[in-house]
Amino acid sequence: MAMLEIRDIHTYYGNIHALKGISVEVERGEIVTIIGANGAGKSTLLKTASGILRPRSGSIRLEGRELTRLAPHEVVREGIVQVPEGRRIFGRLTVLENLDMGAFTCSDRRRNAANLERVFTLFPRLKERSRQVAGTLSGGEQQMLAMGRALMANPKILLMDEPSMGLAPVLVDGIFETIRRLNEAGTTILLVEQNARMALQVARRGYVLQSGSILFSDAAAPLAENEMVRKAYLGEH
């Protein structure tokens, strides 16, 4: 049984049918990516999985537990943690306070301290700036903070929404390198990306999403070779 099972999800924005029966599975320890154009429903899918949007039908299960009707703050407690699109760090809080917010659901001090140590090892930059107000960080540092903050929540699975968005190419490599390292250390990741090339390099499997439906899915390597994918998402002709 897959760790995360999203089955036949239908989500609406008002009258707009945004997700038309989507099913996605993620096995423990995998990186799975969802690629697709702007407006295909990638973010909608992650928002539905996090409980921000309520699906009209379908089910979301984590390790067999039904999470479909839970509110976002309850979903986090179950172990689905999202790094939202656009980072959404708390700009007026310090870096350390942001990380503490990540640990909001966990009151085990020793565990939080260990997590903090781990985040600082992963992103030494954050340690240097821990007393700084987060709004003053650069874009790349903010992305690190958003990831660090999510890691503080003890995720069973990390949902990442466009982590490379708006970052300089040099930083994008760093972010994907971090994703790979996180995964090697045991974190399961569901990655939504417009940068399909990079996403397919780190992922094991991928789904192609188009106007609210899964077009097809495959292992990452064959997907990267797929002619349709190459034309539509990798910009090759």
Contact residues toward another protein (CB under 8 A) are 50, 52, 71-73, 76-77, 81-82, 84, 88-93, 97, 100-102, 104-105, 149, 153
8 Å CB contact between 217 and 205: yes
Q: In the bound complex, what is the minimum distance in angstroms from residue 81's beta carbon to another protein? A: 7
Cβ distance to another protein smaller for residue 101 or 234: 101
Cβ distance to another protein smaller for residue 163 or 206: 163
Distance, CA of 89 to CA of 111 (rounded, Å): 22
Q: In the bound complex, what is the minimum distance in angstroms from residue 201's beta carbon to another protein? A: 27
Residue 47 DSSP class:
H
Give which of 222, 153, 224 is closest to 193, Cα–Cα.
224
Beta-strand runs (E) in 50-146: 57-62, 65-66, 80-83
Q: Looking up tokens 């984590």, which residue turns up?
A: 62
Sheet containing 65-66, strands listed edge to edge, beginning at the edge strand earlier in sequence:
16-26, 4-13, 57-62, 65-66
Cβ distance to another protein smaller for residue 83 or 209: 83
User: Which residues are 189's β-sheet partners?
Assistant: 31, 158
CB within 8 Å of 48: residues ≥ 6 apart: 9, 11, 19, 54, 55, 60
Cβ distance to another protein smaller for residue 153 or 200: 153
Q: In the bound complex, what is the minimum distance in angstroms from residue 114's beta carbon to another protein? A: 18
Cβ distance to another protein smaller for residue 105 or 213: 105
Helix (H, G, I), strand (E, B) or coil at 76: helix
Distance, CA of 168 to CA of 149 (rounded, Å): 21
Cβ distance to another protein smaller for residue 5 or 100: 100
Q: In the bound complex, what is the minimum distance in angstroms from residue 14's beta carbon to another protein? A: 12
Helix (H, G, I), strand (E, B) or coil at 144: helix
Q: In the bound complex, what is the minimum distance in angstroms from residue 91's beta carbon to another protein? A: 7
Q: In the bound complex, what is the minimum distance in angstroms from residue 203's beta carbon to another protein? A: 22
Q: In the bound complex, what is the minimum distance in angstroms from residue 133's beta carbon to another protein? A: 12
Cβ distance to another protein smaller for residue 20 or 77: 77
